[in-house]
Amino acid sequence: QVQLQQSGPGLVKPSQTLSLTCAISGDSVSRNSTTWNWIRQSPSRGLEWLGRTYYRSKWYNDYAVSVKSRIIINPDTSKNQFSLQLNSVLPEDTAVYYCARGQWFYYYAMDVWGQGTTVTV
């Protein structure tokens, strides 16, 4: 059974960097038929996809236009996890942050989600 376990601080000061990690069990961050995503949810913005990382002979990243200048998503194959770094945060970055797996079988819809981390800026 695939599980995603999120970790990271729940409080970040404005202008600082939000950092979260998503540890994967039961799957591999390097598996070719998967994508590894970060999504956030807030009352004002709803569900917002932030970006993803995936491996297809080499590593790729895609980012949402809204955060592209501030975001980095990195895989860590040694720990089988991936991370989110969002720089220069603002109060409007306050949200519940989720990591999630996209799988080829589901046309890359997200079938496994982390438990969510409430981040307050």
Partner 1 sequence: EIVLTQSPATLSLSPGESATLSCGASQSLSSSFLAWYQQKPGLAPRLLIYDASNRATGFPDRFSGSGSGTDFTLTISRLEPEDFAVYFCQQYGSSLTFGGGTKVEIK
**Separation CA 99–CA 107 (nearest Å):** 17
Candidates 25, 11, 12; CA nearest to 115 is 25
Reduced to 3 states (helix: H, G, I; strand: E, B; else coil), residue 107 is coil
Q: Which of 31, 62, 72, 76 binds partner 1 (CB under 8 A)?
A: 62
User: Which residues in 14-113 belong to E strands, given as ranges?
Assistant: 18-25, 34-42, 46-55, 59-63, 71-76, 81-86, 95-103, 110-113
Is 8 a residue that touches partner 1 (CB under 8 A)?
no
**In the bound complex, what is the minimum distance in angstroms from residue 15's beta carbon to partner 1?**
27
Site for partner 1 in 64-103 (CB under 8 A): 64-65, 98, 100, 102
Is 42 a residue that touches partner 1 (CB under 8 A)?
no
**Separation CA 93–CA 116 (nearest Å):** 15
- Site map for partner 1, 21-40, x if CB under 8 A? ----------------x---
Chain residues that interact with partner 1, rule: CB under 8 A: 37, 46-49, 52, 62, 64-65, 98, 100, 102, 106-111, 113-116
